[in-house]
Structure 1
Amino acid sequence: MVKEFKVKAVEDLKDRLSRSSIAIGARFQGLTSQQLNDLRRRLAVQDVEFRVVRNTLALIAAREAGKTSVEVVFQGPTGVAFGYGDPIEPARILAEFIRSTRLPLEINGAFMESRTLSSDEVRTLATLPPKDQLIAILLGQMQAPIAQLLYVLNAPIQSLAIVLQRVVENGDGGSASENDSSASVEQSSEASEADSTEPEASVAEEVAAEAPAPQEEVASEAAPEEGVASEDVAEEAAEQEESGSAEAEEEEKSE
């Protein structure tokens, strides 16, 4: 009967160690039954079981469950807190119970999946945020670069949308400004044409004023030439008369 009881106890501990996400061994020496029941109630709120175990049977069950460094967890009168959900919650509740009651409850160590944690590691685990909050923080850190990338990619599109919206809102004003600008361009072109005609008129007047001067010079140059020509004709006529008179004298002498 005793052997059968021990076999069942080992199988039960082995099953709990295999199914639990964390199993924390705590030495409860010096605690009363009422204080242990208070601890059980606090742990039960988070679906954590607290069971007092015999170290010899617990060592056998832990080894059969594939745990290592089992002697660290089972030291002295030991109770084991089996957690099946968030592994942080059992460690947090035990640490809070020790801090608030100041009872001589000491954490030996823990089995968390395939690892064996020391008492210091369990206390560090108790200071972490809950698992859901850790996942949210991790997802936020993972999504931050993606959000920044999307912001950078959407920035040109948003700028274009803003520009188009302003164009739509200022559509009437824009057409009026275009009409004003076209009218001002026409006025400036007419003014430039008027300015260009004035220099042309002044140039024509200057040409007309200077035109008679060359004609007078030509006339003045032509007058001396005519006088010279008349003098040449007179000299030729005189020479002909002289030659005629000379011939007449020679004829008279010959007669």
Structure 2
Amino acid sequence: MNKSQKSEIVSALTTEFKSSAAVIMCDYRGLAVSELEALRKIAREKDAKVQVVKNTLATIALNNAEMTGIEIKDTNIFIWGSDAIAASKAAVDFAKANDKFVIRTAYIDGQAADEKKVRAFATLPGREELLGMLASVWMGPVRNFTIGLDALKRKKEEEAA
């Protein structure tokens, strides 16, 4: 890899990391290529991106994106996305299925985070679930009103009969 290719990778990663709510660093040592493809599929479903990056290039990109406080060493794969919950769920879901996959550290919502915080974010309801909850709350009074009207209608019909 020549210098221009490295600078292209760093600039692309810097742009991606700046626009991401979460960047999660994981150890993938011992995983087969087919297992990594499964991780990519899970991440794609959750609108997250996955890439293996050299540590020096990743360090430069993270520093350029003003994400400091993360120590990068050994073999790493990065998962990132604009939704911190979705990216965390992708990492945690894959880690549950693969013992060799280890979540190391992350940068979530402007702060360095450990594995516990990533797992905590993964337990939060996602955007679609929250929208469903909100719709249910909004529809509650309407639902109760229609149930009440229906009960009143039945009562009037029984009195008339």
TM-score scaled by structure 1?
A: 0.49
In the alignment, is residue 97 of structure 1 matched against residue 110 of structure 2?
A: no
The corresponding residue for 2:78 is: 80
Q: In the alignment, is the contact (CA less than 8 A) between 1:25 and 1:107 conserved in 2?
A: yes
Aligned counterpart in structure 2 of residue 109 of structure 1, from 105, 108, 119:
105
Contact kept in structure 1, 2:24 and 2:78, CA below 8 Å: yes
1 CA distance for matches of 2:124 and 2:105? 17
Inter-partner Cα distance in structure 2 for 1:69 and 1:139: 39
8 A contact 2:11–2:61 mirrored in 1: yes
Structure with more strand by fraction: 2
Secondary structure of 2:30 counterpart: coil
Equivalent in 117, 122, 125 of residue 121 of structure 1:
117
Aligned equivalent of 1:33: 33
- How many percent identity over aligned positions? 27
Query: Matches of 1:38 and 1:80 in 2, distance apart?
Result: 15
Aligned residues: 139
1:62 aligns with 2:62: yes
Distance 1:139 1:47 in 2: 23
- How far apart, in 1, do the equivalents of 2:102 and 2:60 lie? 22
Structure 1 residue 55: Cα displacement: 0.7
CA distance in structure 1 between the partners assigned to 2:51 and 2:19 by the alignment: 15
CA 1:132–1:45: 2 relative to 1, 3 Å: closer
| Counterpart in the other structure of 1:171 | none
Spell out, residue by residue over 1:64-112, the C-alpha distance to the aligned partner (whole angstroms, 9 max, x if none). Answer: 11112021xx33211111212x32112112212221x233101111122
Partner of 1:247: none
- Give me the whole-angstrom Cα distance separating, in 1, the residues matched to 2:73 and 2:127: 29
Structure 2 unmatched ranges of 5 or more: 142-161
Q: Distance in 1 between matches of 2:107 and 2:130?
A: 21
Asked if 2 retains the 8 angstrom alpha-carbon contact of 1:67 and 1:114, the reply is: yes
Distance of 1:26 and 1:75 partners within structure 2: 10
Q: Describe the superposition over 1:15-48 as per-residue Cα deviations: whole angstroms up to 9, x where unpaired.
A: 1101112111111001011110111011111221
Which residue of structure 2 aligns with residue 21 of structure 1? 21
Q: Say if 2:27 and 2:104, in contact at 8 Å, map to a contact too.
A: yes
What is the distance in 2 between the residues matched to 1:75 and 1:125? 24
Q: Which has the larger radius of gyration?
A: 1
1:138–1:63 distance in 2 versus 1, CA, 3 Å: farther
Cα distance in 1 between the residues matched to 2:132 and 2:36 = 34
TM (norm. structure 2) is 0.76
Q: Secondary structure at the match of 2:94?
A: helix
Query: Does the Cα contact within 8 Å between 2:42 and 2:90 map onto a contact in 1?
Result: yes
| Equivalent pair of 1:63/1:70 in contact (CA under 8 Å) | no
